[in-house]
Amino acid sequence: MHTRTKFPLSRRNFIRLLVLGALAVTGARGFMNSRNLKLQKVNIALGRLPSSFEGLKVGHITDIHASALVPRALIREGIDLIMSERPDVVVLTGDFVTSATKILWTTYGGFKRRHYHDCMEEISRLKAPLGVFAVLGNHDFWSGKAVTEEIVTGLGRAGVQVLRNEAFPLERNGQRLYLLGVDDYWEASCDLGGALRGVPEGTCRILLSHNPDVNEDIKLRREPIDCVLSGHTHGGQIVLPFLGAPYLPSAFGQKYRAGLVADGERQTYVSRGLGLFLVPVRLNCPADVSLLTFHKGKATRHLRAALTGPGGERKSIRDPILTS
Q: Interface residues with Fe ion (CB under 5 A)? A: 63, 95
Q: How far is the CB of 64 from Fe ion (least distance, A)?
A: 9
Q: How far is the CB of 311 from Fe ion (least distance, A)?
A: 37
Cβ 101 to Fe ion shortest distance, Å:
10
Q: Which of 46, 97 has the CB closer to Fe ion?
A: 97
110, 121, 275, 280 from 68: Cα distances, Å: 10, 16, 11, 9
CA–CA separation, 104 and 123 (whole Å) = 33
- d(Cα 246, Cα 234) in Å, to the nearest integer? 12
The distance of closest approach from Cβ of residue 118 to Fe ion in the complex, given in angstroms and rounded to an integer, is: 17
Query: Which residue, 154 or 236, is less far from Fe ion as judged by CB?
Result: 236
Identity at 62, one-letter amino acid code: T
24 CB contacts (<8 Å, ≥6 apart)?
A: none
Nearer to Fe ion, 95 or 226 (CB): 95
User: H or E segment at 228?
Assistant: strand 227-230
CB of 146 to Fe ion, least distance (A): 20
Q: How far is CA 70 from the centre of its chain?
A: 15
Smallest gap, in angstroms, from Cβ of residue 148 to Fe ion? 15
Helix (H) or strand (E) holding 272: none
Q: How far apart are CA 182 and CA 165, in angstroms?
A: 4
**96 vs 294, beta carbon nearer Fe ion:** 96
d(CA 254, CA 244): 8
> In angstroms, what is the minimal distance from the CB of 231 to Fe ion?
6
Toward Fe ion, which CB reaches closer, 95 or 183? 95
CB of 135 to Fe ion, least distance (A): 13
Q: Are 85 and 59 in contact (CB under 8 A)?
A: yes
Percent of residues in the chain assigned helix, strand, coil, to nearest 5: 30, 25, 45
Rank residues 50 and 78 by Cβ distance to Fe ion and give the closer one: 78
Using CB positions, name the residue nearest to Fe ion: 95
Residue 33: CB atoms within 10 A of its CB come to: 20
Q: How far is CA 82 from CA 43, 86, 91, 170, 171, in A?
A: 15, 7, 11, 20, 22
Q: Which is nearer to Fe ion, 196 or 238 (CB)?
A: 238
Nearer to Fe ion, 43 or 230 (CB): 230
